[in-house]
Amino acid sequence: MESPFERRIAACQRRLADEGTDLAVCFPSPNLTYLTGFEESPSERHLLLFVPETGEPALVAPAMYEAELSKLSIADLELRLWTDADDPLEEIAEVLEGYSLGGADPATVLLDDRLWATFSQDLRELLPDAAFGLASTVLEPLRIRKDDIELDALRRAGAVADRVSLEIREQGGDLVGTTESELAAEIDRLLAARGGEEPAFETIVAAGPNGARPHHHGGSRAIEAGDPIVLDFGAFVAADLEGGTGRYPGDQTRTIVVGDPPAEYEQVHETVRQAQEAAIDAVEPGVEAGAVDRAARSVIESAGYGDEFVHRTGHGVGLEVHEPPYIVDGNDRKLEPGMVFSVEPGIYLEGRFGVRIEDLVAVTDDGAERLNDTSRGWESGR
């Protein structure tokens, strides 16, 4: 039986053939993790995956990774290890010579979008006649549609965020006097306790007027009774992938109030809730991503808050917290089953408060599946 990574490499090779390109080269990045299950940070050492349009893929890597790489579940992967006493370019040159690149025409090579310039230059010197492009040409259409294993991980990440959201809401009045940074640390602790590997991004706790900054960095401000509190958080969970890894994030936002809300708050919150509902109702295969943004934006504009909705409605999630498809007006990309993205409209009243409500959704055959299931109301638990 083929492993998920063997299926993904085969799909990448089919895309290369469809695009009329010869070779994709990946670097330590989500692309490398997607194709092999190997996750590592970039370094000055050459670690490159070569996926030809036909033939066996090859991974050139430092010998220090032999134990990890030997466990990868890719039967036909050629593993070429080099030590610090070797010249890795000799290994790379041998790999390239083994492929029939370009034929009578110059080769077309697609480089990982994250590839450092120094490695790009090495490849240009080894292939002086080649034409170069970006690997996202073939990999983005594959990564943008999540398979069952990925969807399972994203559902579990959503459940972790849901559990923590409930626990924070239930603290009610006990939140008064807690600083933003203290509450963010508590959320991070709970995410780990409920099954998250690590926060997927810097947890946002924005109380009172700080909520009017969509990406506020929590500080020493203490939460006061009546403060609207924007809570935006999630954690990575590991996908169930034998012979490799892949981590997928949760990403949920709720805006709650401890005590009596300020003037106009209930109207603003209900407007955002309705905007999110309208956007999710618009999700189905064949709909343009931009239409989902317009569905949310039209509700907010009709309520007179159009100028206070200052960001796109959403972003794709997968191995990265932000990736295609981007849910923004003007994006004519049509939605397909398996796409997963956030739906997070917001209204931000400078100097007063902000409101954002966010869920992750997966496109299904006939609509959308929410991956978050907690209350979208503003009331705290106690």
Instruction: Answer yes or no: do 99 and 176 share one domain.
Output: no
pLDDT tens for 346-359 read: 999 999 999 999 99
21 and 117 belong to one structural domain: yes
What pLDDT is attached to residue 126? Answer: 95
Whether 238 maps to a domain, the answer reads: yes
Which portions of the chain are predicted below pLDDT 70? 102-104, 381-382
Question: Based on the domain organization, do 200 and 100 belong to the same domain?
Answer: no
In a domain, residue 287? The reply is yes
Residue ending a domain, among 105, 122, 142, is 142
| Inter-residue contact 321 to 301 (CB < 8 Å) | no
Based on the fold, state whether residues 110 and 138 are members of the same structural domain.
yes
Q: Do residue 104 and residue 153 come from a single domain?
A: no
- Please report whether residue 188 resides in a domain: yes
Which domain-ending residue is among 142, 159, 189? 142
* 380 domain-assigned: no
> What pLDDT was estimated at residue 103?
63
Question: Residue 277 sits in which domain range?
Answer: 148-370
| Confidence (pLDDT) at 363 | 98
pLDDT at position 297: 98
Query: Are 337 and 213 in a shared domain?
Result: yes
Domain end: 142, 167, 198, which one?
Answer: 142
The per-residue pLDDT for 244 is 85
Tell me whether residue 375 is in a domain.
no
Residues 228, 330: one domain?
A: yes
The enclosing domain of 256 has a CATH number of 3.90.230.10
Q: Does 244 lie in the same domain as 274?
A: yes
Residues 323 and 211 in one domain: yes
377 occurs within a structural domain: no
Q: Do 13 and 70 lie in a common domain? A: yes
- What is residue 382's predicted lDDT score, i.e. its pLDDT? 52
Q: Does 171 share its domain with 248?
A: yes
88 & 156 share domain: no
- How confident is the model at residue 87, as a pLDDT? 96
Count of the separate structural domains present in the chain:
2
